A and B are shown apart, each in its own frame.
Chain A
Amino acid sequence: MEERLFRTDTKALVGAVILGIVFLIMMQVTGRIDGILDPTLLLFNGTCWSFFTGLIILMYRQPAGIISGLLEAVVAMATAYSPLAFFFLFANTIGSIAYSLVAAKLSMEKLSHHILAQIASNVTGNFCVMLGLITVVHLDWKVALVTSSITTLVATIVAGILTKSVYGALKKSSLI
């Protein structure tokens, strides 16, 4: 169980940082698309978030997931890129832990395993952002719940499929 949860070798730590930067840049790319198409639901951003949260853990386990999540959140804060970045600190950490707890218990060979792990990280992660929306932005809790649920639903399915295929491609490439 331990080795399915943790990896603290240099390769994993450096991987967390480098993949964290990819995560951050792709969040900006998808954020720009959301800004035009769906500024409130953030479906592309949400999917991108779930995808990286999953992929990094599959590749490097913990604490790599938390490190890259924190990196993404901190840079988003330092550059004032997203107004909700403060809540990403918690969402990224908790979502990542939830994903790795589920992923450690499953073989992660079937699509259903990926979906299950995504449910865990999306529900917890989106819950953190929802709390932020309610307490800081004073959004009505029902509205916050509906938007968060839509994002969770879309992101879980799309990111589940994506993590499975991209992780498969990476394994096939023999780079990891």
Chain B
Amino acid sequence: MELSYSAKHNEKFIDKFDPRTKLTWYLVMIYYSLSCETALKLCIVLLVGITVSLVLTGSLKQYKVMIMTMLFLGLQMLILQLLFCREGILIYQWGILKIYSEAIPLALTGLLKATIIVFASMQFFTSSSPMDFTLMLMKFKIPYRFAMLVGLSIRFIPLMKDEYMSIIESQTTRGLKMESVWDNIKSIIPTFLPFLYRAVRRSTEVGLAMELRGYGRSKTRTFSSDLSIKNYDIVLIIAMFLLIIISFVCKLLPLAI
């Protein structure tokens, strides 16, 4: 669950864009994943997304984790569609089990749609540094006390994951077994509760430390960097919104006629 931020190095092409441009691109991808209905169109959308990532970051390595998740989902969807799909013509029957011709195309388009959404989400949420996300939220008029929580979460996720592992270790040395699924279910409470108590203590301390260093003292604060939207960002954002509007209108028009 490591979060990788390419923006850390500040050398890639992707860092030249404002997070707001990236957000609009994310909206475009989501729009198309939901509005396209054929496997071919969805494949094109996915390919465009992948190409953009490849050009802007030079690598697709971070998406590797997606493959297993999507394969597992694909398998599940296939089974569900084979069992329950009632569209198209009946091609096979064995007792109450009926398989219809639309099962496989439906599973495929479903999987493609889900893949595009997962891909685009990962693309967007790993495209900027936590600081850029904070600054973007502030541009959307979200007070800094809320916006800065982005950085705080990224700071504490790895720390708390390690802590949870230590808690598991601690309890296993007391004799708690963690071998079978049943063991795992039984161990939830003795590992979760120390984690919860620790978390509450931690949040109390962190909050106190922050407040005693003036957090929330006034409405604004000085940040070490700022977002400055470039002309090409504005052009891109307008173009992407136009694309969504035109495509939406085109989709509606046949209905209007």
Contacts and interface: CB of A to CB of B under 8 A. Distances in A.
Interface string B86-126: 10000000000000000000110111011001100110011
Interface residues of B, number: 65
Interface in B1-50: 1-3, 30, 33-34
A84 B193 CA distance: 27
B195 A33 contact: no
Contact of B118 (A11, A15, A24, A85): A85
B207 interface: yes
B161 A77 contact: no
B121 A20 contact: no
A107 interface: no
A166 interface: yes
A132 B145 CA distance: 32
A173 B69 CA distance: 39
A59 B49 CA distance: 41
B125 A11 contact: no
Given A14-B203, A14-B207, A17-B203, A81 B69 contact: yes
Contacts, number: 164
Interface stretch (A97-105, A110-118, A121-129, A135-143): A135-143
Contacts of B152: 14, 17
A13 to B, nearest CB: 6
B181 interface: yes
Contacts of A159: none
A150 interface: no
Contact of A25 (B114, B145, B160, B193): B160
B55 interface: no
B134 interface: no
Interface string A13-27: 111111111101110
A21 B80 contact: no
Contact of A80 (B77, B84, B118, B157): B118
A18 B203 CA distance: 6
A175 interface: yes
A17 B76 contact: no
Interface in B152-207: 152-153, 156-157, 160-161, 164, 181, 184-185, 188, 192-193, 195-197, 199-204, 206-207
User: Nearest 8 A-B pairs (CB), nearest first?
Assistant: A78-B125, A77-B121, A18-B203, A14-B207, A80-B66, A138-B110, A15-B203, A11-B207
18 contacts: A13-B145, A13-B207, A15-B203, A15-B207, A17-B153, A25-B195, A26-B195, A78-B121, A80-B65, A80-B69, A136-B34, A136-B114, A136-B117, A139-B80, A140-B86, A143-B84, A170-B197, A175-B200
Interface of A: 8, 10-11, 13-22, 24-26, 28-30, 32-33, 35-37, 39-40, 44, 59, 63, 67, 71, 74-75, 77-86, 135-140, 142-143, 166, 169-170, 173, 175-176
